[in-house]
Amino acid sequence: MRIAIVGGGISGLAAAFELEKARRDGTQVEYALYEARNRLGGSLASEIVNGAVLECGPDSFLTEKPAAAELCRELGLGGDLLPSNDAARKTYVVLRDRLVALPDGLMFLVPTKLLPTALSPLFSFSAKMRMALELLHPPSRNGLYDESVAALVKRHYGAEIVDRLADPLLSGIYGGEAAQLSAQTVLPRLVQMESQYGSLTRGMLAAHRQMRARSESSAPGNGQTQAAPRALFTALRGGMQQLVDALAEYLDRTAVHLAAPISSIERDADGWRLESEGFVGIYDALIMALPAWATSVLLNSVDETLAEELAAIPYSSSITVNLVYDETRLPRLPEGFGFLVPPSEGRAMLACTFVHRKFLGRTPPGKAVFRAFLGGMKNEALLAESNAALIALVRRELREILGERTFGHADEPEHVQVSRWRRAMAQYTVGHKERMGRIAARVQALPGLRLAGNAYDGIGVPDCIRLGRQAARELLTLGVKAPSAVALESLRR
Ligand SMILES: Cc1cc2nc3c(=O)[nH]c(=O)nc-3n(C[C@H](O)[C@H](O)[C@H](O)COP(=O)(O)OP(=O)(O)OC[C@H]3O[C@@H](n4cnc5c(N)ncnc54)[C@H](O)[C@@H]3O)c2cc1C
């Protein structure tokens, strides 16, 4: 079987990995991966500057989603997996230009510890009363219908929690807005808890009790060893680029085509016909591992309805700015991993990570790395600004938020690095689940087609890896019903 993969981001690379693995195991499969740019990795890219790992795109993945760490281990990178420094984990929210720590016990936006929440300066007295009353919320059948995250959180905890928790957390992850994102898709656990318990706080406390009971029943004395708590995030010692390089190394070099943008896709009796700058390739099966909007453009000639559904998935753009400083010039940097900025603060920055604190051993001693995240659905215009303007903006905001005492001494950063990510992050808006159902039905009607990427079932790196590998496995096991295998023609026009 001949399979084409369009897109050499982590989704396409994961699909290619699965196919290469099958090929090495003796499966009769040939594949070709087409990537428009002259480098692999898509949003994954890192630079090492004077020993400091600077992440241009994602900096890590959620440990509880195993697909990324599993792939790293299969590629021999197990020894380079680096847990986040959770002993120092503390995150702040900017409130009227000051950093206020997120209270202890917050789980998925839900406060579960009475005292830290009651004492937190992050919430007003009336918001705290509202949180206490939430315990009386009756079970509801709202989960049957999708609503926005803002609507769900507002019904339970009020508008202030949307502004100070939901919006900053979601803009820090998705570059998105709580008023647009789907509760059913983004916070399915909370939707399920609402229908079971009514109160989200009671639901979260029950889940916490169950988790504790499970870990106690596996404690020493019960004949089992107690597992150490896992770090929240996992990174790679050499940056995400290490994963991209290991994948590139593993793949069959002749199967990977860089600077090969696919410009048209047709489906005929012979199979899938792809064109890229003078080449035509014909394949039995096709994995589209592009952003949904790019897939939409290419599949329009094959299925207009599918293309319309794909085009309707919005994307946000973002910018990361890394600044490297001499740490001795920053005497009063607060503890913790960094801060989130609510949109109501009216700032360009959505979040900032203190990189040297979040992952130890990736920044040389005596250096501090700040990674600012900007853009999002409300501030796409920032992408048009020059690097110099963006750096000046981030430095000004850091001075205003961290204070002159910290940043007034900072002088010029020793190194700066700016990356723009245009329409890179899918937004799971209200109705996403239904749209996925309609897309799946259209895809099923097109034998040999699979979609992978961050638009469908999770935007994180582990989700993309899982979907990419799954797409490849399905094609290998299910095979392709319709066309016979046709040799790849590399016809110069
Ligand atoms: C700034 C930023 C920070 C993030 N932080 C995190 C994080 O910390 N943790 C986490 O888990 N996730 C994070 N994410 C999300 C995660 O990185 C992405 O969802 C994931 O990398 C998407 O991978 P992909 O392969 O699906 O798409 P992409 O990375 O977008 O790859 C698609 C590829 O397709 C290529 N392409 C486009 N058109 C064509 C064409 N016509 N022909 C051939 N090739 C084409 C593109 O050049 C690109 O290389 C972050 C994302 C961004 C942008």
Q: What is the CATH number of the domain that holds 345?
A: 3.90.660.20
Measured in Å, residue 9 CA sits from the centre of ligand 1 at 5
Residue 4 has pLDDT above 60, yes or no: yes
One domain for residues 297 and 440: yes
**What is the rounded distance in angstroms from the CA atom of residue 231 to the CA atom of residue 82?**
9
Residue 43 has pLDDT above 70, yes or no: yes
Measured in Å, residue 55 CA sits from the centre of ligand 1 at 13
pTM for this prediction: 0.93
Domains in the chain: how many in total? 3
Average pLDDT estimate for 203-212: 86
Measured in Å, residue 425 CA sits from the centre of ligand 1 at 7
426, 446, 468: which is the final residue of a domain?
Answer: 426
CB neighbour list of residue 440: distance below 8 Å, 6 or more residues apart = none
Q: How many CA atoms are closer than 13 Å to the CA of 159, on its beta-carbon side?
A: 1
Residue 172 has pLDDT above 90, yes or no: no
**What is the rounded distance in angstroms from the CA atom of residue 371 to the CA atom of residue 235?**
15
Confidence grade of residue 449 (pLDDT, cut at 50, 70, 90): very high
- 328: containing domain: 315-426
Please choose, from the candidates 79, 85, 117, the residue with its C-alpha nearest in 3D space to the C-alpha of residue 100. 117
Q: In this structure, what CATH number is given to the domain that contains residue 448?
A: 3.50.50.60
Average pLDDT estimate for 197-202: 93
Does residue 84 have its Cβ closer than 6 Å to ligand 1?
no
In a domain, 455, yes or no: yes
CB neighbour list of residue 293: distance below 8 Å, 6 or more residues apart = 310, 311, 313, 315, 423
CA distances from 107 to 92, 104, 190, 433 (A): 15, 9, 10, 24
* Residue 102 three-state SS: coil
In a domain, 223, yes or no: no
Q: In this structure, what CATH number is given to the domain that contains residue 160?
A: 1.10.3110.10
Which tokens hold the place of 214? 């499970």
Residues 291-320 have pLDDT tens digits of: 999 999 999 999 999 999 999 999 999 999
Residue 210 has pLDDT above 80, yes or no: yes
In a domain, 17, yes or no: yes
Average pLDDT estimate for 456-460: 96
Which tokens hold the place of 145? 């219908």
Average pLDDT estimate for 121-143: 87
Give the pLDDT score at 390.
97
CA angle 155, 158, 160 (to 5 degrees): 150
Confidence grade of residue 278 (pLDDT, cut at 50, 70, 90): confident
Give the rounded percent of residues in the chain with a pLDDT score beyond 90: 76
**What is the rounded distance in angstroms from the CA atom of residue 301 to the CA atom of residue 268?**
11
One domain for residues 127 and 31: no
In a domain, 341, yes or no: yes
Does residue 425 have its Cβ closer than 6 Å to ligand 1?
yes
Give the pLDDT score at 101.
93
One domain for residues 161 and 38: no
Does residue 472 have its Cβ closer than 6 Å to ligand 1?
no
One domain for residues 300 and 438: yes
Higher per-residue confidence, 216 vs 120: 120
Average pLDDT estimate for 78-87: 94
169, 202, 217: which is the final residue of a domain?
Answer: 217
Q: What is the mean pLDDT of the chain?
A: 90
Does residue 461 have its Cβ closer than 6 Å to ligand 1?
yes
Which tokens hold the place of 296? 């939409």
One domain for residues 209 and 292: no
In a domain, 287, yes or no: yes
Residue 464 has pLDDT above 60, yes or no: yes
